[in-house]
Structure 1
């Protein structure tokens, strides 16, 4: 994912609501959201490296990942970060234990932000700062910098999520916003000004790279709803909706 907004309300009937966009090169092969071979994990698949950017399990485990944008720090031979999401979803470790085990391996990977929920505790992890975040009740988010960074598109998504968290249509409209940020508000992440402008939109569309999927997750105490809208070169290419009861065999 490259843009994630989430409402965290741990005492509510629906503790976690997530609205997110995945941005990727159009040429990278991708499978749409669906149940994996283990019949326990729901999410899209990166068919090039085998991992995923966002998913949820029948036990209510959730994970999502964004890249941290800094071209000066890229390791061309680093393993896929999507495997980190898949490993959490298919495992049984708590969020805290998973992050603790991951710390010894982060030097192998390109920088990332990881959002994890084990059914009880929600944590974020920033590999570039080696920082674990505990979120207070309310709206938070992350794009390709640290959690809750003041990027225009992230601030707009968070503001909309705070007002319209119960309205699927409104949340998808926020994710589909193609407006670019003003140059004065653009971050400086080490890419060209042209790229900073293009990447400042919530919904990105360039000749070779852009938003491939918009996802809305509603993770309740006993039910989960995941809706995914897919795009090819900026045009609608399908929608899937999954609703299921959480397994009583919580890990």
Structure 2
């Protein structure tokens, strides 16, 4: 997952509105979102190479998503798969706070990542990349509008600023949340001006290509967009538009 926009306990009808794009190499094998055969309480896609997932939700209300952290540090070949962070939490009986406390001591086993993890009571953010001595731990999120890409939560990259603005304009002030409007936000392909681009060590040309909310290159890009709505009665609407391979999936259930 490379873009997550979400409204948390900040809408009159919905306790969570989440919109996400998964960016990945087109040739990496995966399955679209579905109830896992061996764990039918988990709704998520699956990375068939490493066995984890990029985002998922369970019938008892646990939810999690991960993004890679894109920085100048070289990637470790022996690092553990970041997608397993999501699946391990969702399949566990551990609370999100306890899971993240345990993860803090193991963060160095992975390349840079961000995770959003929680349940219907609390939502947390954690990154294994230390920002500074004052902001190096687990954050329990307050009600608000958030954006996460391949840097720290709410880092003002153009796609985050633009995505949050569009979410506020078209979603936050409407009693009914139009799912197709959220998908149109996730499909935004505006390239940011050079003077607004971050410098993550990949060069200006690649920074341009990676700057839109929706990414498309010959070998890498947005493979799926997902919208998750959880209303105040804990009714979940989970809609996924997959592009590689093409498919649409719609699930609804009530958290127990």
Place the TM-score, normalised by the shorter chain, in its bin: over 0.9
**Partners of 2:194 and 2:255 in 1: CA distance:** 45
Superposition deviation, residue 131 in structure 1? 2.6
Equivalence for 1:5: 5
Query: Of 227, 240, 249, which aligns to 1:228?
Result: 240
Secondary structure at the counterpart of residue 213 of structure 1: strand
Which consecutive segments of 4 or more residues in structure 1 shift more than 6 A?
Answer: none
Secondary structure at the counterpart of residue 15 of structure 1: strand
Superposition deviation, residue 184 in structure 1? 0.3
Query: Of 169, 172, 181, which aligns to 2:180?
Result: 169
1:216 and 2:230 matched: no
**1:82-97 alignment to 2 at 5 Å?**
82-97=83-98
Superposition deviation, residue 179 in structure 1? 1.2
Q: Which stretches in structure 2 are left out of the alignment for 5+ residues? A: 131-135, 172-176
**Partners of 2:9 and 2:79 in 1: CA distance:** 36
Secondary structure at the counterpart of residue 74 of structure 1: coil
Provide TM-score, normalisation by structure 1: 0.93
**Partners of 2:11 and 2:199 in 1: CA distance:** 38
1:197 and 2:208 matched: yes
**Partners of 1:65 and 1:13 in 2: CA distance:** 26
Superposition deviation, residue 127 in structure 1? 1.0
Once superposed, what is the RMSD of the aligned Cα atoms?
1.4
Secondary structure at the counterpart of residue 72 of structure 1: coil
Equivalence for 1:239: 248
1:120-179 alpha-carbon deviations (Å, 9 max, x no partner):
101100110143223221211100000000011111111111222312121111110111
Equivalence for 1:133: 139
Provide TM-score, normalisation by structure 2: 0.91
Q: How many aligned residue pairs are there?
A: 244
1:183 and 2:194 matched: yes
1:144 and 2:150 matched: yes
Q: Which stretches in structure 1 are left out of the alignment for 5+ residues? A: none
